[in-house]
């Protein structure tokens, strides 16, 4: 309990204000007091101030919860991705990032969020699209069908990797592949997460034949038309 | 802007009761989303739950403003009646 409160103070605050507001509401319904000024002041807290505090802190808590891997994995078609990330034996790029103590619990969000000025909003709008797709297209789909059908919507941006991996350190530049492909990586013509480099990030989701990087192409694609991550 | 008749004609007490019930429903959805942060509860809390909360608060504000207006009007009528009562004896004295 104490751990939950310390890890989710906004959620705890929201629950506390919701509980007090609920007590005031139930008091009004049960005791049926006269509509005096005191009653209205009590209701101002029960209907206005405390529920507003619950909504505000609950929103922050909700947005934080939406970043977690558990949240992403709660739709059944995402469970293989979530399970792979959680698997300490897995060698996939996603799993290796999930073992990072700084953001490991939120590794889906860390790698799939847009980091632009309006990145959070764009990411949330994209999330709404996911909910729509899941509700109307994927809800009753088997995992095997979903594995073949689910694909990343836009080519994975190298800028997302470069949010943490600056590509400026001597150690990074010392890698021959990095040194020879610097401009291609910067322009996005070669994806960090492409097969043959560091990817694919979710290898189990790819068809058995995964193409290597197309040096002259734009985003690497596989034969089924899916865009590689 | 005209409010629906169902709201205008209702006594304050029953409107406040509806407001409290809507608040409680909204709070239940919000609390559910915090205790079980999965897509459905979170989306319900942020749409239906907050919608209920906003509607409940709107009803509360409406009731308070209407009561204030009615009590203001009642005070004005009482003041005018007092003034009329005071004016009557004076008029009678003037006539005598």
* Position B3 in a domain: no
User: Do residue A65 and residue B37 have CB atoms under 8 angstroms apart?
Assistant: yes
B34 contacts A58 by C-beta, under 8 angstroms: yes
Assess whether the previous peptide bond of A193 is cis (omega < 30° from 0): no
ipTM of the complex: 0.80
CB burial of residue A19 (10 Å; 0-12, 13-18, 19+): middle
CA-CA distance, A19 to A79, in Å (whole number)?
34
Write out the two tokens for B95: 């006539």
Please say if the pLDDT value at position A210 is more than 60: no
User: Do residue A32 and residue B24 have CB atoms under 8 angstroms apart?
Assistant: no
Question: What pLDDT, in 10s, does the model give residues A220-229?
Answer: 444 343 433 3
Of residues B31 and B95, more confidence is placed in B31
- What's the Cα-to-Cα distance from B54 to each of A146, B32, B68, rounded to whole Å? 39, 18, 21
DSSP class per residue in B15-73: HHHHHHHHHHHHHHHHHHHHHS-SHHHHHHIIIIIHHHHHHHHHHHHHHHHHHHHHHHH
> Which chain B residues have a beta carbon less than 8 Å from that of A75?
39
* Position B26 in a domain: yes
Average pLDDT over residues A64-72: 91
Please say if the pLDDT value at position A6 is more than 90: no
CA-CA distance, B84 to A94, in Å (whole number)?
85
* Position B1 in a domain: no
Q: Which residue of A has its CA nearest to B40?
A: A131
Average pLDDT over residues A44-50: 97
Q: Is B17 left (phi over 0), alpha (psi -120 to 50) or beta?
A: alpha
pLDDT at residue B3, rounded to an integer: 67
Question: What pLDDT, in 10s, does the model give residues A13-38?
Answer: 999 999 999 999 999 999 999 888 89
Please say if the pLDDT value at position B23 is more than 60: yes
Write out the two tokens for A132: 């729509």
Question: What pLDDT, in 10s, does the model give residues A92-112?
Answer: 999 999 999 999 999 999 999
Domain range for B50 is 11-95
Mean of per-residue pLDDT scores for chain B = 88
Burial A58-84 (b: 16+ CB within 10 A, else e): bbebbebbbbbbebbbbbebbebbbeb
pLDDT at residue A212, rounded to an integer: 44
Number of domains in chain B: 1
User: Do residue A29 and residue B17 have CB atoms under 8 angstroms apart?
Assistant: yes
Other CB atoms within 10 Å distance of the CB of residue B92: 9
Question: What pLDDT, in 10s, does the model give residues A131-182?
Answer: 888 989 899 999 988 888 888 888 888 999 998 999 999 999 999 999 999 9
Of residues A7 and B34, more confidence is placed in B34
pLDDT at residue A141, rounded to an integer: 92
Q: Which helix (H) or strand (E) holds A176?
A: helix A176-180
* Position B39 in a domain: yes
Question: What pLDDT, in 10s, does the model give residues B36-67?
Answer: 999 899 999 999 999 999 999 999 999 999 99
């Amino acid at each position: 309990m104490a751990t939950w409160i310390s890890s989710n103070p906004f959620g705890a605050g929201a629950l506390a204000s919701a509980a007090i507001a609920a007590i005031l509401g139930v008091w009004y319904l049960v005791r049926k007091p006269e509509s005096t000024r005191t009653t209205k002041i009590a209701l101002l807290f029960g209907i206005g101030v405390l529920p507003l505090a619950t909504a505000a802190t609950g929103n922050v808590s909700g947005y934080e919860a939406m970043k977690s891997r558990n949240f992403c994995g709660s739709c059944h078609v995402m469970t293989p991705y979530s399970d792979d990330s959680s698997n300490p034996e897995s060698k996939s790029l996603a799993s290796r990032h999930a073992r990072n103590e700084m953001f490991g619990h939120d590794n889906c969000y860390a790698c799939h969020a847009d980091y632009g000025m309006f990145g959070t909003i764009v990411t949330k709008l994209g999330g709404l699209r996911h909910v729509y797709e899941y509700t109307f297209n994927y809800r009753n789909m088997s995992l095997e069908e979903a594995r073949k059908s689910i694909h990343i919507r836009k080519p994975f941006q190298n800028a997302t990797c470069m949010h943490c991996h600056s590509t400026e350190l001597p150690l990074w530049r010392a890698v021959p592949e990095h040194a020879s492909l610097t401009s291609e990586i910067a322009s996005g013509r070669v994806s960090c997460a492409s097969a043959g480099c560091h990817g694919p990030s979710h290898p189990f989701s790819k068809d058995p034949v995964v193409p290597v990087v197309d040096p002259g192409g734009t985003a690497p694609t596989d034969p089924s038309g899916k865009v590689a991550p | 802007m005209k409010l629906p008749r169902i709201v205008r004609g209702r006594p304050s007490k029953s409107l406040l009761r509806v407001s409290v019930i809507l608040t409680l429903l909204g709070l239940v959805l919000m609390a559910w989303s915090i205790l079980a942060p999965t897509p459905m509860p979170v989306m319900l809390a942020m749409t239906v739950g907050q919608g209920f909360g906003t509607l409940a608060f709107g009803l509360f504000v409406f009731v308070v403003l209407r009561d204030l207006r009615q009590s203001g009007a009642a005070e004005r009528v009482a003041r005018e009646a007092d003034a009329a009562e005071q004016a009557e004896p004076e008029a009678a004295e003037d006539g005598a």
